[in-house]
Structure 1
């Protein structure tokens, strides 16, 4: 069965460290000139653009490149790009277990919204007041990239710095609580979307009422809880439709639909086209 290409760390690494890589974006693109097809990574990946233009697509959402934009990707997300000339910045890849020996919580990275695997959280522009410090951290990591302990400490510092941009927008204790509750809901969806499809099932896991969950989602994301669950199922369907030899019936089974026709109706209602039509359109753009 054909699959979306999975890019291994060793393939794109500069050979210095198989668990971690940092490199100027210009040099990275020069070494990986053919890396323009849709692909997945089996590692965490982020890029900071300091100059250049073009676009990049993560999980079928397209973004125009602008200076000081940063994007984060978690293992499993689908990615491609179309960059212009004179691109530069920083690119960082690191193994999913890089922090395993220094962090007590295995899910620690999930505390940071940009590592949630949700595109809405993974692409943003760094605030002007933090730009010099961010580049200073990345330059120091480049300088001492042979020191694994320094790399780990510096990356965690960088993640905390970037996370501060989000936290600073939460003005009250109740606001922080609501965002934490929402994050827990999204994490539960990530683990259970194939088997749990009803908001009341997630509300029970969060020890709140379905009405509370729905109001929270409406307030913070502008969508109902049911729409958010549906969108995660649709995203997985789109990811699987990239696999050309994976039949629609197989995708329906993989996503725990009772039959192919119900899956097709579900997909068309959300996307506006059938799974086969979506696949044909996607293939024509590859």
Structure 2
């Protein structure tokens, strides 16, 4: 089983990173990239809408059954794999982290959507029946616009993608509580963004509070109100997530992973991981969760 995890970083899609955007019918995409059956991570945003077929896919150790009218969203850095049966169809879109930078006044605008989330349990949605037809039309328009070599092509693609995101965010598919929690407080959003940048070096809530110009108590209160957990737990969860992502790469020893995550030694990392997950790093590597 572990032989199917040769690496996390993915090379065959680098040409799409250079172009900043790619859309294809899912069957064509899978046929062209048949080797992508092992867990891998992208440096770009990735989303798939299924219209036909069935199978399984995993995003950051959460397992999902693929089915028609399901859409999944992935942010840069997340790890996923899939096992689809024949006859899968739909649409796949990849776009770079900078694709919307020059288009939107608010650089972090995509972060406000509930489905672009580090918690992969929020990444997969069933498209509501009342918007399915419109969403399908927008994906077809994306394909058509992408085929046109016009000066406004990229901006038309951006507008169509934003329509898709906004329609889905406002649809019945989205958990209103999760959507409100993510979009309501700018300090919490900035805190999560800072964790994602500095989790391997900055571990204390007080250090993040200084970056955000708030007191540690205020930061803690905001996290408990909007996320349902303390600031320290959010930091630890992000470290654990990255540890799990690294552990499925068997080219790295546990000691090397501990070093990458800036733990003083292997035993301290093992103690931390066991306290947070209930198992040792070695046990995690043997578990069916991956």
- TM-score for the superposition, normalised by structure 2: 0.81
Residues 73, 122 of structure 1: 8 Å contact kept: yes
Question: Which sits farther off after the overlay, 212-221 or 128-137?
Answer: 212-221
Q: Deviations over 1:86-121 (max 9, x none)?
A: 322211112333234323444333333333443133
Return closer, same or farther for 1:97/1:86 CA change in 2, 3 Å cut-off: same
Partner of 2:3: none
Q: How does 1:235-274 map to 2 (within 5 A)?
A: 235-274=241-280
Partner of 1:21: 22
Partner of 1:142: 143
Q: Give how far 1:124 is off.
A: 2.0
Query: What 5-or-longer segments of structure 2 have no aligned partner?
Result: 1-5
2:43 and 2:184 map into 1 onto residues whose CA distance is 31
Q: When the two structures are aligned, how many residues end up with a matched partner? A: 276
1:82 and 1:18 map into 2 onto residues whose CA distance is 27
Which one of the candidate residues 132, 149, 169 is aligned to 1:163? 169
Q: Deviations over 1:59-100 (max 9, x none)?
A: 122122233221111222211011223322211112333234
Residues 9, 95 of structure 1: 8 Å contact kept: no
Q: Give how far 1:8 is off.
A: 4.2
Partner of 2:8: 4
Q: Give how far 1:45 is off.
A: 0.8
Residues 50, 66 of structure 2: 8 Å contact kept: yes
Q: How does 1:134-283 map to 2 (within 5 A)?
A: 134-145=135-146, 146=148, 147-165=153-171, 169=176, 178-281=184-287
Partner of 2:92: 91
1:90 and 1:107 map into 2 onto residues whose CA distance is 25
SS in 2 for 1:89: strand
SS in 2 for 1:115: coil
Q: Give how far 1:167 is off.
A: 8.7
Partner of 2:52: 51
Q: Give how far 1:209 is off.
A: 4.8
1:254 and 1:179 map into 2 onto residues whose CA distance is 31
Q: Give how far 1:204 is off.
A: 4.2
SS in 1 for 2:56: strand
Residues 41, 78 of structure 2: 8 Å contact kept: yes
Q: How does 1:73-112 map to 2 (within 5 A)?
A: 73-112=74-113
- TM-score for the superposition, normalised by structure 1: 0.82
Q: Give how far 1:262 is off.
A: 0.9
